[in-house]
Amino acid sequence: MELDRPAPVEDLFARLAAQTPALDAYRGSLLIAVNEEYGRWDTLVSDGDELAFFPPVSGGRP
């Protein structure tokens, strides 16, 4: 997606969820990465940044 100005992750997720409503169900458990670093819902994303959402990692009992 294209951005005129930096926007928080939560706004961009809302745009994705508007196109794909099924995404909303995962909102509570998703992890966020901006440019391959962990981010938060209020992290600002600029045009050209790489934004990724993914589920919790593989875990395993110690």
Partner 1 sequence: MIEIVHSPIDQKRVVEAVSSPAAGAVVTFDGTIRNHARGKSVTHLFYQAYAPMAVKELEKIQSEALRRWPLQEVAVVHRLGRMEIGESSVFIAVSAAHRRDAFEACRFVIDTLKTTVPIWKKEFYEDGEVWIEGSAG
Residues that bind partner 1 (CB under 8 A): 29, 31, 33, 36-38, 52, 54-62
Chain-centre distance for alpha carbon 62: 28
Rounded distance, CA 20 to CA 14, Å?
A: 10
Buried b (16+ CB within 10 A) or exposed e, 32-49: bebeeeebeeebebeeee
User: For partner 1, which is the closer residue by CB, 41 or 54?
Assistant: 54
CB of 59 to partner 1, least distance (A): 4
CB of 39 to partner 1, least distance (A): 11
User: For partner 1, which is the closer residue by CB, 4 or 62?
Assistant: 62
